Amino acid sequence: MKDMQTIVNLAKARGFVYQWSEIYWGLANAWDYGPLGSLLKENIKNLWIREFVQKRTDMTLLDAAILMNPSVWIASGHVGGFSDPLVDDKKTKERFRADKLLENLIDEKESELGSRDAVLTRFQWLYAINNLIPESWTFEQQGAVLIGEKVKNPNNNEEADWTEVKKFNLMFRTFQGVTEDSSATIYMRPETAQGIFVNFPNIVRSSRKKVPFWVAQVGKAFRNEITPGNFIFRTREFEQMEIEFFCEPESVAPGKHLEWHAAWKDACKKFLLETLSITESNLRFRDHEKDELSFYSAATTDIEYKFPFGWGELWGIADRTDHDLKAHMGESKQDLSYFDPYTNQKYLPYVIEPSVGLTRLFLATLLDAYDEIETEEGSRIVLRFHPRVAPIKVAVFPIVKKLAEQGRAIFDLLASDFQVEYDETGAVGKRYYRADEMGIPFSIVVDDEHYNAGSVTVRHRDSGEQEVVRIDELVEWVRARVR
Ligand code: GAP
C-alpha cells in the first residue's frame, strides 16, 4: 500500500533516502540522499535545467552564495516578517503551527457540518472571520478559534491547554568571523530567489538579455520549521529550483504580466506531466483567493500534489509585481531599473516566480512511480519511473558467472553514456525483481548464443516483454528511450 511509512522503508532499503546521522540516533527530520536518491535528485534537477534553461534563448542560470549580506534579508522582509504562527500546548510543552491545526479543524468541521459554507457561517458568527484561510487570520483570531473550538493536541488527541499564538521567525541565524555579537549575525538563506534579485543588474549587464527574460537557480535553502515532517515533504534543510521571470510592468504593458503568469502555469504543468511523467489526477491547481494573496502579489497559484497525507503544495507560481526589486532599490540605494533599448523606456520589471522544492518534487516523483504487483509469491514493488527520470537506466546481467567478461564488455559499452547497474550473481528472475524495485527500466541479459551472434536480450520493466537488440546499436537504442 502506498502509505508514507512504506515509502520511507523502501527509500531506506533501496538507498534513496536515509535518516541523517543514523549511527547517532539521527537528527529529527533531517535526511541524506543515498546512491539511488542522489542520482534521482540529480536527474530531476538536470531535466528542469534542460527544459527551462538549455532549451530557451531567453534564460540564464545563476549559482549565488548561501550566506548573503544581512541587508538582503531586511530588504526582502524576511528578518521582519518571515515567520509562522506558533502555539504551545502547556500540558505537554509541544509546539505546533497554529495555522496547520486550524486547517485540519476546518476539514473536520466540514465533515461535521456538511459544507465549507456552513463552517464559514459559524466562524463569521462566532469569531468575525470572513474566510477559511487561517494563514490570513490575525494571531488573536487564530488563538480564539483554537480555544473556542477546543482543538485537541494532534499528537495525543487529548484536550490541549494552548498558549497565545506567537510569531516565530524561521530564519537560521549564525555568526560570521570571530565575534558572536549582533554585528556578526548572518543568515542561512531561506530561499534562493533573493540571490537572483540582488544580481539583476549584473545579469543584465553581463548577459545582455532583454526583458522579458528569466534567471533560474537551484540550491539549498534553510528554514527553522516549527513542525517539519511527512518524511522529506517539509524539512529544515532542503533544495529549491526557482525562476525569476522579468517582464514588462503594468505601466508599460497593462495586463501582460497576468498573461505571463498564466503561461507559466502551463509551462510548469507541461514539465510535470510530459517531462517527469507525473499522473495528472494526482495534481491540482489552486489559485489564491484575494485575501490570501500577499499585499504585493497580483496573482498566485499553487500546484498541489496528492500526497498520502493529503494535498500539499508542490510548486508556487507567484506574480510578485516589482515588489522585490523596489525593496532592494530602497535598502541598497542603488538604481536597479532596466533600460529598454527598443522603447527607450526606463522601468522596474515585474516578476513572475515559479518556485518548486527539488526535494519535495523528488518525493512526489518517487510516490508517483510506486506500484505493487500481486504475484503467486505475494506482492512485489516496481518503481515505474519514466526512463528519462530513472536513477539507473540499464542493468546488465550475464546469465551465468562465466559470461562475466562479456557482461563487463556490455557494461563498459554503455557506462560512458548512462548510469548502469552490473550484477552477475543470483537467479536472473531475482535480479529482474531487484532491478524493478530500483526502477531500472531496461535489464540486459547476456547469454552465449545471442552474444556470439552480436546481440543481447533486453527486458522491459513495465511490460516484462523481451526484445533482442544488436550490440552495435545498443547505445543508440538506449539513448532513444531515455531522452
Ligand atoms: N521564493 C518563494 C518561496 O520560497 P515558498 O512557497 O516558501 O516560496 C517554494 O517555497 C517551494 O519550496 C514550495 O512550493 C515547496 O515545494 C518548497 N519548500 C518550501 N519550504 C520547504 C520545506 N521546509 N521543505 C521542503 N520543501 C520546501
Q: What is the CATH number of the domain that holds 400?
A: 3.40.50.800
Residue with CA closest to ligand 1 atom 6 = 316
Rounded to the nearest whole angstrom, what is the distance from the C-alpha of residue 366 to the centroid of ligand 1? 18
Same domain as 464, residue 423 = yes
Which helix (H) or strand (E) is 18 found in, with range?
Answer: strand 17-19
Same domain as 293, residue 196 = yes
Give the integer Cα–Cα distance in Å for 325 and 302.
Answer: 23
Answer yes or no: are the C-beta atoms of 293 and 299 closer than 8 Å.
yes
Answer yes or no: are the C-beta atoms of 220 and 238 closer than 8 Å.
yes
Q: State the cell numbers at 447.
A: 547469454
Within a domain: 374 = no
Same domain as 97, residue 45 = no
Which of 240, 283, 304, 314 to mutate for ligand 1's pocket (most ligand atoms within 8 Å of CB)? Answer: 240
Nearest atom within ligand 1 for CA of residue 228:
23
Same domain as 278, residue 343 = yes
Residue with CA closest to ligand 1 atom 12 = 357
Give the integer Cα–Cα distance in Å for 346 and 35.
Answer: 50
Q: State the cell numbers at 158.
A: 487529548
How buried is residue 225: exposed, middle or buried, by Cβ count under 10 Å (0-12/13-18/19+)? middle
Which of 238, 278, 284, 297 to mutate for ligand 1's pocket (most ligand atoms within 8 Å of CB)? Answer: 238
Q: What is the CA radius of gyration of the chain?
A: 26
Between helix 358-369 and helix 4-13 the angle, nearest 10°, is 100
The single residue listed with the C-alpha cell 550473481 is 425
196-233 pLDDT tens trace: 999 999 999 998 889 999 999 999 999 999 888 899 99
Give the integer Cα–Cα distance in Å for 86 and 99.
Answer: 8
Same domain as 309, residue 269 = yes
The single residue listed with the C-alpha cell 503467486 is 376
Same domain as 220, residue 142 = no
Give the integer Cα–Cα distance in Å for 475 and 473.
Answer: 6
Rounded to the nearest whole angstrom, what is the distance from the C-alpha of residue 466 to the centroid of ligand 1? 42
Q: Which domain holds residue 118?
A: 83-169
Same domain as 314, residue 225 = yes
Give the integer Cα–Cα distance in Å for 293 and 286.
Answer: 12
Among the candidates 109, 143, 169, a domain finishes at 169
Amino acid in position 258: L
How buried is residue 192: exposed, middle or buried, by Cβ count under 10 Å (0-12/13-18/19+)? buried
Residue with CA closest to ligand 1 atom 7 = 191
Q: Which DSSP letter does residue 22 get?
A: G
Among the residues of 149-231, which ranges form H helices? 193-198, 200-207
Within a domain: 245 = yes
Closest CA to 242 of 315, 139, 344, 157: 315
Within a domain: 76 = no
* C-alpha distance across the termini of the chain, in Å: 31
Give the integer Cα–Cα distance in Å for 294 and 121.
Answer: 25
Nearest atom within ligand 1 for CA of residue 313:
14
Give Cα separations from 71 to 62, 79, 277 (angstroms): 20, 9, 41
| Beta-strand runs (E) in 157-212 | 158-159, 166-169, 172-175, 185-188
| Beta-strand runs (E) in 348-427 | 350-357, 370-375, 378-383, 394-398, 420-422
Q: Indicate the length of the chain as a whole number.
A: 483
CA atoms within 13 A on the CB side of 321: 14
- Which 3 state secondary structure label does DSSP give 175? strand
Rounded to the nearest whole angstrom, what is the distance from the C-alpha of residue 166 to the centroid of ligand 1? 22
Same domain as 142, residue 106 = yes
| Beta-strand runs (E) in 248-349 | 283-287, 299-307, 310-319, 338-340, 345-347
Among the candidates 169, 199, 232, a domain finishes at 169
Closest CA to 189 of 220, 164, 155: 220
Q: What is the CATH number of the domain that holds 96?
A: 3.30.40.230
Cis ω before 387 (30° cut-off from 0): no
Domain count for the chain: 3
Residue with CA closest to ligand 1 atom 24 = 234
Within a domain: 93 = yes
Q: What is the CATH number of the domain that holds 358?
A: 3.30.930.10
Within a domain: 177 = no
Give the integer Cα–Cα distance in Å for 444 and 395.
Answer: 6
Residue with CA closest to ligand 1 atom 15 = 357
Within a domain: 384 = no
Same domain as 148, residue 209 = no
Same domain as 344, residue 214 = yes
Whole-model pTM over 0.85: yes
CA 50 to mean position of chain CA atoms: 17
Rounded to the nearest whole angstrom, what is the distance from the C-alpha of residue 193 to the centroid of ligand 1? 11
Among the candidates 312, 333, 367, a domain finishes at 367
Same domain as 415, residue 328 = no
| pLDDT tens across the length of the chain (483 residues) | 678 999 999 999 999 999 877 767 666 678 999 999 999 999 999 999 999 999 999 999 999 999 999 999 999 999 988 899 999 999 999 999 999 999 999 999 999 999 999 999 999 999 999 999 998 899 999 999 999 999 999 999 999 999 999 999 999 999 998 777 777 889 999 999 999 999 999 999 998 889 999 999 999 999 999 888 899 999 999 999 999 999 999 999 999 999 999 999 999 999 999 999 999 999 999 999 887 888 899 999 999 999 999 999 999 999 999 999 999 999 999 999 999 998 999 999 999 999 999 999 999 999 999 999 998 888 999 999 999 999 999 999 999 999 999 999 999 999 999 999 999 999 999 999 999 999 999 999 999 999 999 999 999 999 999 999 999 999 999 999 999
Same domain as 201, residue 60 = yes
Within a domain: 311 = yes
pLDDT at 290: 85
Within a domain: 161 = yes
